[in-house]
Structure 1
Amino acid sequence: MTPLKIGIVGVGKIARDQHLPALEANPDYQLVAIASRNAALSGAANFLSLEAMLEAMPELDAVSLCAPPTVRYAQARQALAAGKHVMLEKPPGATLSEVEDLARQAQAAERTLFATWHSRHAPGVAPARDWLAGRTIRGVTIEWKEDVRVWHPGQAWIFEPGGMGVFDPGINALSIATAILPQAFHLREATLQVPQNRQAPIAAQLSFSDAAETPIRADLDFRQTGPQTWDIHVDTDAGRLTLSKGGSALYIDGEHQPTGEEQEYPALYARFAKLVAAGESDVDVAPLRHVADAFLLGRRELVEAFHDE
């Protein structure tokens, strides 16, 4: 297959750390352009905006959108209207309505739209899903705690409306849970801790259940210092399964299980290439729906002001 000529929009930390290396290692792609107000890349055409990129480079086949979710809808619409396949960094948009509209537009334009969930491609996730299939789930505990100053230094947008606050990392846990648990689940109640000087929560406690009334609880926190915690514990009739380190380590009753190598973003781009070749889209909004439900049902608690220092 001729390599897809692709451009990246938004060259921040996640693009530099994950997207660029994944593209460089994949022969299915040729990275030919970037659009960024604050970064440049040698060996590619550099533009200040997606509009300028699309106008100057009609030969582009696809774009990967890595800008914050609040601007992603307009960018994706513009790219689809220009006949480009579109890959969306998580979360796929600021609202469910935006993403659903993009899916309709992609279908009408006969272009691929891929709403990515990178944590689903962590090496322990697929074997965890297979082990849980057919087993009785008795309870699920999610602990997702990290330091916002480490992962989003100086990024004030993450605490603005649409930035999602602690749900920016927390949605990774929900993307894994919706992938591995045998039954769908829904939110029962939530508490959202919001700093006095911010708009989005810095911590949250969520209580879900499925049709069998299985308790599923999540504790999310953006204030963790020292070692970070990205763990999901699933108690079953056959013992306890634990996914640790964001899904990269798998344990059954405390015994480490062999898994493959870490390939989250390479796997995303491999999936995108296959979708384009097949003329298909992949737009799963289940994790984003759980976050939207938390904002609908969640009880807000004001906590001390947060300063990024």
Structure 2
Amino acid sequence: MEHLSLGLVGYGKIAQDQHVPAILGNPGYQLRAVATLGPPCPGVAHYTSLEALLAEGPAVQAVAFCTPPQGRHAQVRQALLAGKHVLVEKPPCASLGEAMDLVELARAQGVTCLFAWHSRFAPAVEPARQWLRGRTLRSVAITWKEDVRKWHPGQAWIWQAGGQGVFDPGINALSIVTTLLPDPLFITAAELAVPANHQAPIAARLRMADAHGVEVSAEFDWDHAEPDVWRVVIVTEDGVLRLEQGGAALFIDDIAQPLPAEAEYPSLYRHFRQLIATGASDADLQPLRLVADAFMAGRRTQAAAFLD
């Protein structure tokens, strides 16, 4: 495949920190245009809407979406209907139904759709998956704690309906675990702590299980002082596997394991090109389904008002 011409929608923190460096660092891509209402991306054609980019801008074969999930569904539909391959930052949409619609539309249009569960591309995830293959699982424990003021400062959309609150980072952990475990997970109990002045939770506790009774617990906290904790511990009959730093480090029975060097987003964009080359999509819904089920089945408690 020659250079893949790419448009980018949204130029906020995640686009600036992760997407653009990964795109520019991959010689297989050519970033042709960015649509954003904020400051333009240096050296790239600027448009204020996806509609303008598609109608007036340079030809692009694919579009990456880095906007908030609320309202994203209509934008991605527009790109799909224009015949573009799409990469959609997590969480892909504000609802499970919207995400399901995009999967079906991409299939009907015959184009690639990638839901960017970037944490699945952390260096430890694939080695962990290989080690777990064929082993008998006993339990899984997720601990995902960070400070929203540090990682998402001033982003009001996260606290609004559809923004998912603490599940914005927590869904990264769910995307890792659903990759590592062989069977689907189901919510058995959930507790969501929602600040008095917001619509989305700042903390959550989940209980999950697969059809064979393997229990999975998750504790998410978005008002946690440093150091950050991004940990998954999986107990098997043959030993204990532990991922730290969101999948950047892997331990088997407390012994550190060697890992490949490639970072998440470069791996993600390499995967996107491979999908396009083979005419495939990768739009797994399980992480978003678990969040949707937690909102549906969870018990809500009121937390103190949160001010950024």
TM-score range, shorter chain: over 0.9
Cα distance per residue 1:9-38 (max 9 Å; x no partner): 010111001101101111111001001111
Mapping for residues 235-250 of structure 1, pairs under 5 Å = 235-250=235-250
Deviation at 1:57, TM superposition (A): 2.3
Give the structure 2 partner of residue 5 of structure 1: 5
Q: How many residues align?
A: 308
The separation in 2 between residues aligned to 1:299 and 1:276, in whole angstroms, is: 42
Q: CA deviation at 1:58?
A: 5.6
Partners of 2:252 and 2:41 lie apart in 1 by 44
Q: Give the 3-state SS of the residue equivalent to 1:240 in structure 2.
A: strand
- Deviates further, 112-121 or 273-282: 273-282
Q: Work out the percentage of aligned pairs sharing the same amino acid.
A: 53
Native 8 Å contact 2:33 2:58 kept in 1: no
Give 1:141 shift: 0.7
3-state SS of paired residue (2:260): coil
Structure 1 residues not aligned, in runs of 5+: none
User: In the alignment, what sits opposite 1:102?
Assistant: 102
| Letter of the 1:180 counterpart | L
Aligned equivalent of 1:177: 177
1: CA distance between counterparts of 2:270 and 2:286?
Answer: 22
CA root-mean-square deviation: 1.0
For the 8 Å contact 1:6–1:30, the answer to whether it is kept is yes
Flag as ranges the 4+ runs of structure 1 deviating above 4 A: none
**In structure 1, what is the Cα distance between the partners aligned to 2:114 and 2:210?**
27
- The question of whether the paired residues in 2 share the 8 Å contact of 1:32 and 1:43 is answered with no
Counterparts of 1:254 and 1:41 in 2: how far apart (Å)?
43
Give the distance between the partners of 1:19 and 1:119, measured in 2 at CA: 14
String of CA shifts for 1:121-152, please: whole Å, max 9, x gaps.
Answer: 00100111111111111111100001000111
The aligned runs of 1:14-29 (5 Å cut-off) are 14-29=14-29
The answer to whether the aligner puts 1:226 opposite 2:226 as a matched pair is yes
Q: How many Å separate the matches in 2 of 1:290 and 1:47?
A: 36
Inter-partner Cα distance in structure 1 for 2:212 and 2:84 = 43
3-state secondary structure, aligned to 1:205: strand
Contact 1:143 1:219 in 2 (8 A): yes
Matching of residue 134 in structure 1 with residue 134 in structure 2: yes
Q: Does 1:208 align with 2:197?
A: no
Aligned to 2:36: 36
Q: CA deviation at 1:262?
A: 4.2
Partner residue, 2:75 = 75
Match of 1:49 in 2: 49
Counterpart code for 2:184: A
> 1:279-298 to 2 correspondence within 5 Å?
279-298=279-298
Q: Distance in 1 between matches of 2:114 and 2:100?
A: 12
TM-score in terms of structure 1 length? 0.98
The answer as to whether partners of 1:134 and 1:182 remain within 8 angstroms in 2 is no
Q: Which moved more, 1:256-265 or 1:198-207?
A: 256-265
SS class of match (2:186): strand
TM-score, normalised to structure 2's length?
A: 0.98
Task: Tell me the distance in 2 between the aligned counterparts of 1:183 and 1:50.
Answer: 38
Answer yes or no: is 1:162 the counterpart of 2:131. Answer: no
Give 1:22's aligned amino acid: A
How far apart are 1:110 and its partner, in Å? 1.6
Counterpart in 2 of 1:146? 146
Deviations 1:139-167 (A, max 9, x none): 11100001000111000110100100000
The Cα shift of 1:182 comes to 2.6
What runs of 5+ residues in structure 2 fail to find an aligned partner?
none
Superposition map of 1:257-296 within 5 A: 257-296=257-296
| Between 118-127 and 133-142, the greater mean CA deviation after superposition | 133-142
Separation in structure 1 between the aligned mates of residue 239 and residue 294 of structure 2, nearest angstrom: 30
